[in-house]
Structure 1
Amino acid sequence: MIQTFRRFFQSKIGIFVTLAFLGVIAFAFASSDVANTGTFGGVAGGDRVAVVGDEKISAIELSQAATSAIDGLRRENPTISMPSFIEQGGLDQVLEQLIERAAIGGFAEKYGLRAGDNLVNSQIMTIPAFRGPDGNFDDDVYRQALSQQRLTDAQVRDDLGKGLLAQQILIPAAFGAGTPDKFAQQYASLLKERRQGSIGVIPSAAFVPEGDPTDKQLSAFYEETRGDYIRPERRTIRYIAFGDDAISDNIDPTDEEIAARYEADRDKYAPSESRTITQLIVPTPEAAAAIQKRVQSGTGLEAAAREAGLQTAKIGPITKAELTAQTSAAVANSVFAAARGTIAVPAASGLGSHVARIDGIERQPGKNLEQAKGEITTLLREEKRRRALGDLAASVEEQVEEGVSLSEVAEQLDLEITTTKPITGAGMVYGNAEERVADIVGPALQTAFQMEESEPQLAEVVPGQTFLVFETTDITESAAAPLTEIKDRVEVAWRLSEGSKAAKEAADRILKAVADGSSISAAMSAESVPLPQADTVNLTREQLAAQGRQVPPPLALMFSMAEGTVKKLEAPRDGGWFVVNLTDIDAGTIAKDDPIFAQTKAELSQTIGREYGEQLRAAISAELGVERNETAIEAVSKQLTGEN
C-alpha cells in the first residue's frame, strides 16, 4: 500500500513536487479533489514535532499532512487505513518531507531568495481545484475550497511560496548533470556481462516445528507481528434512491407556456443565414485595395496572399452576429452584402483591413409556432422535470438537515430502505472479495467513509436524474484482528516463522560447505530434511532486463555479487531462504555507437543530478539544524490511530 507513496517521494519528479506541495494543501488540491479533513484536538497546538532552524513544525501540521497524504493514497487504494499507513512508515515519510520543506524555506530566507506575490498568484490560478465551470480560476471556488479544508489564504500562499523556493534551489542543483564517457561505457558494458552460478531454495515449510506453540509463545509472536493482521475499516450503509418516479407534479407544458417560450426565443426560430469565407488581413486600407485589385484581375486570393508574404484563413459557417463579435460591424456588413464567389468590399477592424471571399452561403428558413411546438414541448418538459426533481431533492435535503430520519424520508417517498453488508472503502463486501456493493452507492462511498454515524446525507449520483439518501451504521474501525479470532492463522504464521529460523541455520551450514569447496547441490543433499534441487543460472544482464518484469530478488543478488562468492537471502513472509552461488563472470564490451551506450549515459546523468539534489537537501538541513521531538511524534501517531 505505502509503496506507491514511497516510490513517488523517491522519484526525481517526486522530490521536487512533494517539496513544492506537501504542506497544508499538497494532497488536498493537487488532484483537483478537495476532501473535507479536519484538525485533531487531542494534541495541543503548542506541541512541536520538530524544529528546523528557527521554524517549528507543529503536531497539528503533521496531523493535517498525514491525513491529506492518506486521502491522496485512497484514490489508488481505497481500503488503506491510518494504522496500516503508520505501521509501514507513512508518518515518518510525511514528517521528513515537512522537515525538508521547512529547511529549504529557511535556507532561501537566509540567502535572500524570494517568491513574489505575482508568482504565487500564477501558481494558485493553475491549480485545477480552483477553476470554475468555464475552466478559469474562480475566486468563489477558491474561497470555498479553503473553507472546506479549514485553511486560510495566508497558509496556502505560504505553502506555495516555499514550494517555489524549493524549485529555485533544487532544480538548478540537478540541472545539466553529465556523465563522462568512460564512466558511462563501464556501466553500459555491464548489460553484456554474463553470469553463471546456482540458486538453492531452503523453504521454511521443511523445518516447521511439529509441536503446538504455548499460549505465551503465540501471544508474544502476535504482538510482534500484529501489523500483519490489520483489518480495513468496515461500514454498513443504509440508503434509498429516487428519480423521476418520485415526481408527483404534472410536467407536461401547457399551450400558453409553449407560446410564451416561442415568443421569448423568437430569434432562435427566425430565418437565419450563415456564410463560409476565406479572408486575408492586411495592415492598411491601401494594401487591402491592392490585394482586391490583384484578385479582380484574375489572381486567386491565396496566390495574392503568398505574393505579399501573408496567409489566408478559412472561417465558417458563421452568422453575421458572430462575425461582428469576432471582427467589427463594418466587416460583417460587407461580408453579408457580397454575393457568393465574390470579394467583399474591404473593411477594417481592430486587427487591420479585411479582404474576404464568400465561399458559401447557407440559409435556414424560420419556424412558426406550430412547426416549433414539438421541439419546445420536449425542451419545457425536460426543464420542468429537472426543476421538479431538484425541488424534491432540495426538500429532502432540508428535512435531513432538520434531523428527519432516513426511515421517515423513505416512508414519505414510499420507498424501501436497502441495507448493505459490511463493506470496505473499495466497495467490496468484507470477507467476500468477489462481491461488490451496488453501483448506485459507488459515487457516495468516499463521503460515506468520512461521515460520522449520525444523520443521513443526500447525494446526486447521476446529475439531474438520480439522488441517493444514505447513512452509515455499524462502523468498525481499522485495527488488528483479535488473537482469539485468528488464532489458527497466527499459529500457521508462527510455525513458518520458527521454520524460517531453522531454515536460516540450514542456509548457514550450506554457505559454509560451499565456501569449503562443496557444490550447492551436494551441500543441500547433506541436510537432514529433503530440499528442492538447486537451479542452474546462465544469463546476461541484457537477457535479464528483456524479461520485462520485476527481477526476482535471488537473481538481483547474483548480479550484484563478486565472482566466486556465495550469499544467502531471506524470502518474503518467512517463506524460507535462498543460497546464491556465483561461479563465473564473463565481462561484456560495448561500442560508443551502440544505442545502449547513449541510453545508459542519459540515465546515469539523471541519477547524478538527483544525487546532487539529495546532497544539497542534506547539506541544507545540516546547516540549519534539525531537532525532532519523538514524544510529540508518538503522540500524533497515537492520536491518528485512535489509541488515546
Structure 2
Amino acid sequence: MITYFRHLFVDSWAGRAFAVLIFAAFVLWGVGDFFTKLGGAPDASTVAAVGDRKIGIDDFNNAFHAQLDQVARQSGGDASSLPQQERAQVAMQVLQGLVSRAEALREATRLGLVVPDDVLRQTIFDLPLFKGPDGQFQRSRFDAWLQQNRLTEARVLSIFRDDLTANALVEPLRVGAKAPAVLVRHAYDFAAQTRTVDLVSFPFAAGPAPAPPDQGTLQRYYDNHPQQFQAPEYRRVKLVLLSPQTIARSIDVPEADERALFRAQNNNGSVPEKRSVQVITAPSEARAQALATLWRGGAGWPQMQAAATDSVPVALDDAARATFPSPEMGSLAFGAKAGEVAGPLKTETGWVLLKVTKVDPAVTHSFADSRQALHDQIAAARVRDLLADRVQKLQDVIAGGGASGSGLDQVPADLGAVAAEGTLDAQGMTQAGEPAPLPGTDAQRQAIIATAFAQKQGAPPELKQGPDDAEYALSVEQVTPAAALPFAAVQDRVRDAVVADARRRQAEQQAATLFAAARKAGGLAKLPAGTPGLAGLVHQPPFGRSGPPAGVPPQLRQIAFSLKVGQSTMVPGADGFVVATVTGVQHPDPASNRMAYDRLQANLDGSVANDIEVAYATLLRGRKQPTLNAQAIRSVVGP
C-alpha cells in the first residue's frame, strides 16, 4: 500500500494553523525526477505555484520540520541524525503533498465547490480547543489562541475553509473503498499469530563460583584488556547552543498576553481533577469478567497486558473527565477509587474495565503561580517566527570570528543563545565523575558530545544543526589523551572482570551442551528427565510479535517467529543464555476478536482509499505542472 499523508493538516487543529500539510504524498515523482523539475522562481517567499495558487515558504518550512520530527521519532533518533538523502526524501514528500493540495483546491474552484459560511462557522465552534466549561464556543478562548499564535482571524478562516473544500472534493472518491478479504485475513493472521516455547535459562550468576584467580591470571587479563582499565580521553570545549527553548527564555511576553491566556486556558486558574488509569477493552462481557477477576486477584499491569491477547490494553495518564473517549468511560473512571478495578462496562467499542492508578485533585492556581508557565507557552509559539533570523545572526557572528574561534566569545546576549565551557569525556562525565553541565535537552547534549570528540583540536567552530531545531557550534580547546591506569590501582576491578568472564563461559558451555542435545532430540521436551540443566524447564504461555511475556528475551521473540514447531535455538541475554524450543503456533480465529479484525479491516480499507486518492492526484497533476523555486526550497532543506 502507498503510505502518505491523509490529512490536509497536522494532527491537532491548533497545529493546522501553522503547518498546512497534505492530502496525498508520494505522488508520481521519484527523488531524481523531482529535483530535475526545480526551476523558475515565482518569488522569494514562494516555494511552488500551481497556476494562480502559491505555496509559501513558511508553510513548507513548518510542514517539512513537522514531518522530519515524525520520521526521526519513528526511527528512534532525532532529526539532526537523519542523512541528507533522507531529509531530501522527506522534503520531496512534503512538497508533493502541498502541491497536491493546491491542485485539489484549484480543481475544487473549477468545479464550483464552495464551503458555506455557516458550515465554516460551525466547524470552528465545534472544536474542543475553543469551548468553555459549559461546552459552548467561547470567543475569549479563540481570541487568546489567535494572539498566542500570532494569527489573524482571516488567516485561520482561510485555512479551515481550504481544509473543508479539499475534503469535499476528495471524500466522495473514498466512499466504498474496500480491501480484499484475503488481504485482511493474511494481515490479521500475521499480527495476531502467537507462539509457545519451552525454555531453560542459564543465568551467569547461577552457576558455581569459579576458583579465585591467581596473581598471574589477573596480570595477564590486565595486559590483554588494556581498554578496560584506562582513564578516558578528556576534552576541554567551548560551545554555544541556540534552540527554540533558549530563545523562548529570552522573549519578553507582555503581561496582558499572559493574562488573556490564563483566562482562556485555565478558566481563571481552575484546573479540573485528573486521573491516570489503565484500561482494557474486551470483545465480550464474559471475557471482560474473566480479565476483571484476574486483575482483582492481584495481577499487575504487565501480566494483564500479556493476558489480554484478544483485547486492547491502554494506559491513560493525567486525563481529565472530558478527555475520555466516552462520557460513560469518564464516569466509570471518576467514580472509582485509587487502586480499584472498575467495570466491566459496555461501550460502543467493547466491554471496558479499568484501574485507577493515580488521582490528581482539582486545584486553583493564581496568575502569579502560573505566570512562568504562561510565558513559556506563549514564547514557544512565537519562537518559529524568530528562529531563522537568530540562526543567521549566530552564523554571521561565528563566521566573523574566523579560525581563531573568537566568534564564540562575541555572541550577543539578546540572541537567546546559551554558552558553556568545560572538560568532559566521551560519556559526558567530568573528571570528578559527575555529568557535565551541558545546556540543552538530552538529545542535544549527546549531539554536542559526539561533535566534541569528532572535531580536531584547534579546528574553527562551525554551526551545526542539532536535534529539535537546535543549532550549536564548539571549539576543542585541549585534549587529554586516554592513559592506562596502574595495575595496583585497578586490581579489584580486574579480579571482578576475570570472575565475570569465567561465569559467562561456564553458562555458555552449559547452554551449548543442552542446545545441541535438544536439536538432536527434536526439542527440549523430548530429552530424558535427568539431562543436565533440564530441571529448569519452563513452559511459556503464548506470546505475540508485539511483546513476549516476562522471562522471554526480546532476541528470542524475533527468532521464535522464524522457527518451525520442534526447532530449537540458543540466544544470549543481558544476564545469561537461554535455550528454547518452539512448541506451538496459534492462528486465532477472527471471530474471537472481532473488534481487532474490524479495526484492521478499516485501516486497510483506508489504505485502498488512499490509493484511489493518489490516482486522482496523478490525474490532476497531468493537467497543470507546478512551477518550483529551487532556491527557496534549498533555503529550508539545505544543500
TM-score range for the pair, normalised by the shorter chain length: 0.3 to 0.5
Bigger radius of gyration: 1
Give TM-score, length-normalised by structure 1: 0.36
